[in-house]
Amino acid sequence: MKIEDEIQSSFKSDYHKLVVNLHFTYMRLTETFQASLKTHDLTSTQFNVLRILRGQKQVPASIGLIKERMIERNSDVSRVIDRLLKKDVIERKENKYDRRQRDIIINKKGLDLLEIIDNEESNFIKSLEHVSESEVQLMNDLLDKIRSTPL
């Protein structure tokens, strides 16, 4: 269905339509996945941190490194880390080279949780199978191009 039909609106230009369409589509796509995360008592930001830590392959990460890799960069990473510590899915230790730094690492419980969520995420991704691989590649290329230009 076209965006103008779904939201019963018109747009100032095709560029304006693109911005609204991107935001609307993002919200629709993430509603289902965020509901799934909620069943695991996780926010999308906490999930993002866990995925970053898993990608470290058991090499400790600093809060600064996590901030650099965040999808939502305005998050208070220190608070997110504190909440994940309470959930017992990560560990925080003093850095042996710099006592002011803390090393963050995902633990087995966190890895097990991500494995469960990965299975749920694969079902979510299957909902996009009506889009061809060439269309997916084109969309990825276009989104990369949009992000490569400073706003």
Cβ neighbours of residue 17 closer than 8 Å, sequence gap 6 or more: 3, 4, 11
Cα dihedral sign, 19-21-24-30: negative
Please list the pLDDT of the chain residue by residue as tens digits (151 residues): 888 888 988 899 999 999 999 999 989 888 888 898 999 999 999 999 999 999 999 999 999 899 999 988 777 899 999 999 999 999 998 878 887 788 999 999 999 999 999 988 887 788 889 999 999 999 999 999 998 987 7
Q: What domains lie within the chain, and their CATH numbers?
A: 1-39 (no CATH), 43-148 (1.10.10.10)
pTM: 0.84
* pLDDT score of 70: 93
